[in-house]
Copies of this chain bind each other. A is one copy, B any other.
Amino acid sequence: MNNDLKDLQKLLDKRRRLANAASIISYDLETICPKKGMSYESDTLTMLSSEMFKISSSKEFKDLIVKLYKEKDSLEYLDRVYVEKEYKDYLKEKNITPELNLKATNIYNEAFVKWIDAKNKKDFSLFAPYLKKVVDVSKELMNTRENKLSNMYDNFIDDFEEGFTTKDLDKFFADLKAGILELLARIKTSKHVIRSDFLTRFVPIYKQEEFSNYLLETNGFDFSRGAITTTEHPFTDDIGKDDVRVTTHYFTNLFISNIFSVIHEGGHAIFAQQQTDELFKHNLDNKMSMGMHESVSRFYENIIGRSKEYIHLIYPKFHELFKEELGDVSENELYEGVNLVTPSLVRTEADEVTYCIHIIIRYEIEKELINNNLDVNKVPELWNKKYQEYLGVSPKDDKEGCLQDVHWCSGFGYFPSYAIGNAYNSMYFEKMNKEIDVKKIISEGKMNEIISWLKENTFKKSNILNDKEWLKDLTGESLSASSFIKYLDVKYSDIYKI
């Protein structure tokens, strides 16, 4: 092995150990740590993060990266890929002074505190000056980049969905919006009534817990290398080697929230669990993009989880376990109920059809903030106008409007990934359907065959190629909204009989 690589590996191993400790603590904070113990435990997390930063920002580390990048053609393939990725990050970060780094961190932290306050008081004007600071410092950071892209918003996209540009996304989102709004208009004309009374019935948590385990087991989550616990806002954490944690939140009067949360997070987890030891050895685990990750979680949540075949698969267990509470709900009523389309105000509660409209609104606004100097004070007005125009609904206050998401406290470019994930998965779902009989496989519960296909096709190069390359390699096509629109159209035309 190359000696520089050996030296680098020592630093990476140390950083990884610290990252593992930090992950466990961060997970603990989100799941079990008692309220009053959080402050002390957070400081321990800060100590570990600072030890990690010391390694990454050390002269020794940086010199090795530069040196290895120069020698990259002599490295074996996976090491070269890793060095290229690390070098790209190095170029992004090399001109960030410790002062600027600290300034940004302080602005993000302050914005978070002010956001909570503004949200509680339902008053965006309290948050506006801090959002302005976040916009400014985020752009200031981008301006220091050695490998800066000329269209400012492209830099933000590059951090989440590498390879794509604002031009790509403008086209994608325009098509997506047109397609969804057209479908939505048709759905509104439907006379078909979907039964929804049972969706808010009381279901005790211990039964929901049993169902969560059943769903994860059914979908192929490996419990010997993972666990499920509860939290406030569900997430999945790839803690360390052979250890992926799924979390959920139980509502006694909204059982489907847990069901689709578990299926969604379980999707992230199954993706994480299929990464090989070889990737880990070459420091290439967890290099997939946000959009790739969301494509898998949304594939499980929507394309599989909300399909007729999957409802058919899980209905017997559902019926048996919830006999007392939901014994009168038929298989078809359950299928239709979990696919009810209702334009609404809150992104995280949106249905499969309208979800992307929430993302498009955020995309359009954040692009204005970054590229066209939109006055932050105009955000609520613009937000409300777009919600009325696209979805026909208007928030009664900023809390259920433009203050609902935490994301803008720490930067931009994250939201698009959610919608891009839907485009990715409907594109590779078309390919999957040509190669295996997905409907039959789901009906029969042979979910490992789905995993095998995803592993061989979707997952294989996700840690190696950037988004644009990966999508081309996987589907032979470029990013487009058409597969997703087609998928929605077929499914909802059937459900709503339109």
Contacts and interface: CB of A to CB of B under 8 A. Distances in A.
Interface stretch (A21-29, A313-321, A345-353): A21-29
A223 interface: yes
Interface in A206-247: 206, 223-227, 229, 239-243, 245
Contacts of A205: 206
Nearest to A43: B17
A416 to B, nearest CB: 33
B206 A33 contact: no
Contacts of A39: 242
Contacts of A497: none
Given A24-B25, A25-B24, A28-B24, A35 B224 contact: yes
A33 B25 CA distance: 12
A264 to B, nearest CB: 20
Contacts of A245: 32
A240 B41 contact: yes
Interface in A29-83: 32-37, 39-41, 43-44, 47-48
A20 interface: yes
A28 to B, nearest CB: 5
A13 to B, nearest CB: 9
A20 B22 CA distance: 12
A105 to B, nearest CB: 19
Nearest to A33: B243
A39 B240 CA distance: 10
Contacts of A24: 24-25, 28, 41, 44
B21 A240 contact: no
A225 B36 contact: yes
Nearest to A45: B21
A37 B240 contact: yes
A367 to B, nearest CB: 41
A36 B227 contact: no
A25 B21 contact: yes
A34 B240 contact: no
A204 to B, nearest CB: 8
A38 to B, nearest CB: 8
Contacts of A206: 204-206
Contact of A223 (B17, B34, B48, B242): B34
B229 A34 contact: no
B32 A44 contact: no
Given A32-B227, A40-B241, A21 B20 contact: no
A21 B242 CA distance: 20
B41 A243 contact: yes
Interface of A: 17, 20-21, 24-25, 27-28, 32-37, 39-41, 43-44, 47-48, 204-206, 223-227, 229, 239-243, 245
Given A24-B44, A35-B225, A37-B242, 13 more contacts: A20-B44, A21-B48, A24-B25, A28-B28, A32-B229, A34-B223, A34-B226, A36-B225, A37-B243, A40-B241, A40-B242, A41-B243, A204-B206
20 contacts: A20-B40, A20-B44, A24-B25, A24-B41, A24-B44, A25-B25, A34-B243, A35-B224, A36-B225, A36-B242, A36-B243, A37-B225, A37-B226, A37-B243, A40-B242, A41-B239, A44-B240, A204-B206, A205-B206, A206-B206
